């Protein structure tokens, strides 16, 4: 199979959200802390009738319908998620009724999990399958679905929720440059979920930021080496049109891109002109360790990177700023933002993605765009996702109602024998929602 990659995409996020400015005031944080300090505008969350399963059902059925794909044509279905509703039964199995109805039960794949990285693992599994000798000619389907919620405190504003479905096959308008992939994996306790009775993670915020940046450096270093080996020339940020980052919050994306520029400076790459060299020179003597803690370096490299950031990164920041961290879906929501903003001009261009999951697992990889043919064309993907409309038609919660909902969800997590309000008045037609969890913990859903 040639040009294996993403043929089609659909994104779903809950229509329920809270403005960061409002949450900031409610939490007693200093003005600008969430909006400028974290760089976030708004945060989506699941109400009591939604969860990662209902969101993934909505994304999958909508993708199949809107691109007119016969469910029989799916040969592999992979789910990435770090939201645990069941320690054994995969989310994938909850999606099977969509295919069973059409007589298709011959579908490989289950769930992948490692914090925010599970979606990338799922995506690679599908791409590798289509490129392999066990491929049977049908499509792969990847679903990234998560609800990111944190206990009250500084991490709470970095929540979010969404599901993304991606159809995988040959001759794709978004094709993998499979040789350009570099990973960094290690054992750390930066963010983890050891308490099985709680949906909230245990998180060392500062450590998770440093781990993210260290993983980014390691992946970029490996990526540059692979590029240089393949292309016979040095890589710099000028060799790609866009960078898309896993986005826990926008400030970290700004810091990440600046870090890549600092890497280019250290390698004496072509993206660094004389003026930039002069500004960054004072930091050349810092040790690797010191460089992560140096505020002046952070500030200066962000300043030098700013013009590049505006063209190469900014177009992918819309949905993560508006919806929040969607864990496994976060990187792909950033990618969806790029397609939404730039669909008509992407053909012929390259984009590099950075996936990070705490614990930790990280990969940097490269994709190439071509316009493609309808329904699998860039412009059609943008129009199906309909991002502006979805963002506009949301319902803003006041903070008291949001906090009350978080308390109810804490109570319900891992629970059984309850019926939800079944109130789907805020949901768009076609959205799945949770109706009941019975005395044997079995979950039931309905479609609006």
Instruction: Compute the distance between CA of residue 325 and CA of residue 280 in angstroms, rounded to an integer.
Output: 31
Instruction: Copy the structure tokens of residue 186.
Output: 């290690």
Give residues 145-174 in contact with ligand ACO (rule: CB under 6 A): 154-155, 158
Query: Residue 53 interacts with ligand ACO (CB under 6 A)?
Result: no
Residue span binding ligand ACO (CB under 6 A) among the ranges 178-186, 246-254, 277-285, 389-397: 246-254
Cα atoms in the 13 Å half-sphere on the side-chain side of 444: 13
Q: From the CB of 121, what's the least distance to ligand ACO, in Å?
A: 15
Cα atoms in the 13 Å half-sphere on the side-chain side of 119: 28
Which of 30, 285, 425, 439: binder of ligand ACO (CB under 6 A)? Answer: 30
Question: What are the b/e assignments for 203-213, b being 16+ CB within 10 Å?
Answer: beeeebbebbb
Cis peptide before 90 (omega within 30 of 0): no
Query: Residue 277 interacts with ligand ACO (CB under 6 A)?
Result: no
CA Rg, the chain, in Å? 21
Phi then psi dihedrals of residue 335, to 5 deg: -60, -40
Whichever of 32 and 398 has its CB closer to ligand ACO, that residue is: 32
Q: From the CB of 240, what's the least distance to ligand ACO, in Å?
A: 23
Closest by CA position to 263, among listed 234, 229, 233, 241: 234
Which of 71, 170, 205, 222: binder of ligand ACO (CB under 6 A)? Answer: 205
Query: Residue 31 interacts with ligand ACO (CB under 6 A)?
Result: yes
Residue span binding ligand ACO (CB under 6 A) among the ranges 28-36, 86-94, 160-168, 342-350: 28-36
Q: Which residues are catalytic?
A: 82, 116, 246
Q: From the CB of 135, what's the least distance to ligand ACO, in Å?
A: 32
Query: Residue 309 interacts with ligand ACO (CB under 6 A)?
Result: no
- 3-state helix, strand, coil split of the chain in percent (to 5) is 45, 20, 35
Give residues 118-147 in contact with ligand ACO (rule: CB under 6 A): none
Instruction: Compute the distance between CA of residue 300 and CA of residue 298 in angstroms, rounded to an integer.
Output: 6
Q: Give how many residues touch ligand ACO by CB under 6 A.
A: 22
Range list of H helices, 144-242: 205-231
Query: Residue 203 interacts with ligand ACO (CB under 6 A)?
Result: yes
Burial of 403 (0-12, 13-18, 19+ CB in 10 A): middle
Instruction: Copy the structure tokens of residue 188.
Output: 């750390």
Q: Parallel, antiparallel, or unpaired for β 418-419 and 139-148?
A: unpaired
Query: Residue 251 interacts with ligand ACO (CB under 6 A)?
Result: yes
Which of 25, 32, 225, 416: binder of ligand ACO (CB under 6 A)? Answer: 32
Query: Residue 443 interacts with ligand ACO (CB under 6 A)?
Result: no
Could you give the maximum distance between any two Cα atoms of the chain, in Å?
69
Query: Residue 425 interacts with ligand ACO (CB under 6 A)?
Result: no
Give residues 183-202 in contact with ligand ACO (rule: CB under 6 A): 191
Residue span binding ligand ACO (CB under 6 A) among the ranges 168-176, 204-212, 284-292, 389-397: 204-212
Query: Residue 260 interacts with ligand ACO (CB under 6 A)?
Result: no
Q: From the CB of 358, what's the least distance to ligand ACO, in Å?
A: 5
């Amino acid at each position: 199979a040639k040009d294996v990659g993403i043929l089609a995409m659909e994104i779903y996020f809950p229509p329920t959200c809270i403005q960061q400015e409002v949450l900031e005031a409610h939490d007693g944080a200093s003005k600008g802390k969430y909006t400028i300090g974290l760089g976030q505008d708004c945060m989506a969350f699941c109400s009591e009738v939604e969860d990662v399963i209902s969101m993934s059902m909505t994304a999958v059925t909508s993708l199949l319908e809107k691109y007119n794909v016969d469910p029989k044509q799916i040969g592999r279905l992979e789910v990435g998620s770090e939201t645990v509703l069941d320690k054994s039964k995969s989310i994938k199995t909850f999606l099977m009724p969509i295919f069973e109805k059409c007589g298709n039960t011959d579908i490989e794949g289950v769930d992948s999990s490692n914090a925010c990285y599970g979606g990338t693992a799922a995506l690679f599994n599908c791409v590798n399958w289509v490129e392999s000798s066990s491929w049977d000619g049908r499509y792969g389907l990847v679903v990234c679905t998560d609800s990111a919620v944190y206990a009250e405190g500084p991490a709470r504003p970095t929540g979010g929720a969404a599901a993304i479905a991606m159809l995988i096959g040959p001759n794709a308008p978004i094709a993998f440059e499979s040789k350009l992939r570099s990973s960094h994996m290690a054992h750390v306790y930066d963010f983890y979920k050891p308490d099985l009775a709680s949906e909230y993670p245990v998180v060392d915020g500062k450590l998770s930021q440093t781990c993210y940046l260290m993983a980014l450096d390691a992946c970029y270093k490996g990526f540059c080496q692979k590029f240089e080996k393949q292309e016979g020339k040095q890589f710099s940020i000028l060799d790609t049109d866009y960078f898309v980052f896993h986005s826990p919050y926008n400030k970290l994306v700004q810091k990440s891109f600046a870090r890549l520029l600092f890497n280019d400076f250290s390698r004496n790459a072509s993206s660094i002109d004389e003026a930039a060299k002069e500004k960054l020179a004072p930091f050349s003597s810092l040790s690797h360790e010191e460089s992560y803690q140096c505020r002046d370096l952070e500030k200066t490299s962000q300043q030098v990177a700013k013009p590049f950031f505006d063209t190469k990164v900014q177009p992918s920041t819309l949905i993560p700023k508006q919806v929040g961290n969607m864990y496994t879906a976060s990187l792909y929501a950033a990618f969806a933002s790029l397609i939404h903003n730039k669909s008509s001009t992407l053909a012929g261009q390259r984009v590099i993605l950075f996936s990070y999951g705490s614990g930790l697992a990280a990969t940097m990889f490269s994709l190439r765009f071509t316009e493609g043919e309808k329904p699998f064309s860039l412009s059609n993907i943008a129009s199906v996702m309909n991002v502006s409309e979805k963002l506009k038609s949301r319902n803003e919660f006041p903070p008291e109602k949001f906090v009350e909902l978080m308390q109810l969800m804490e109570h319900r997590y891992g629970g059984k024998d309850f019926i939800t309000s079944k109130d789907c008045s805020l949901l768009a037609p076609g959205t799945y929602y949770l109706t009941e969890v019975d005395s044997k913990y079995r979950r039931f859903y309905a479609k609006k």
